[in-house]
Structure 1
Amino acid sequence: MTAATGIDAIPADLGEGVRAFFTTAAGGVSPAPWAAPSGPGLNLGLNVSDDAGRVRANRARLGAALGGIPVAFAHQVHSDRVIPLGSREHSRWHAGPPPDTAGDGDALVTAERDLGLGVLVADCVPVLLADPAARVVGVAHAGRKGTAAGVVLRALESMAERGARPDRVRAAVGPAVCGRCYEVPEELRDEVAAAVPGAFAETAWGTPALDLPAGVGAQLSAAGVAVTHVRRCTLEDEAFFSHRRATTRGTITGRQAGVVALV
Structure 2
Amino acid sequence: MSYRYLFLHGGPAMGAAMERALYPERIDCHWWDQPRPVVGARRPCQDLCDAAEVELRRQAQLHGQPLTLLASSFGAVLATHLSRVAPRLIARIVLLSPVAELEQGLLRVARRVAQLSGQPAPALDAALARHDQAPGRESYWAVFHALLSHPALVKQYWLPGSPRADWFAQMLALPEMFDLAAHMAIADDYQRTPLLPQAVPFRGPVDIILGVADPLFDPVEAAAWWRRCYPQAQVRLAPAAHFPHLEWSLDACLA
TM-score range, shorter chain: 0.3 to 0.5
The structure in which a higher percent of residues are strand is 1
The structure in which a higher percent of residues are helix is 2
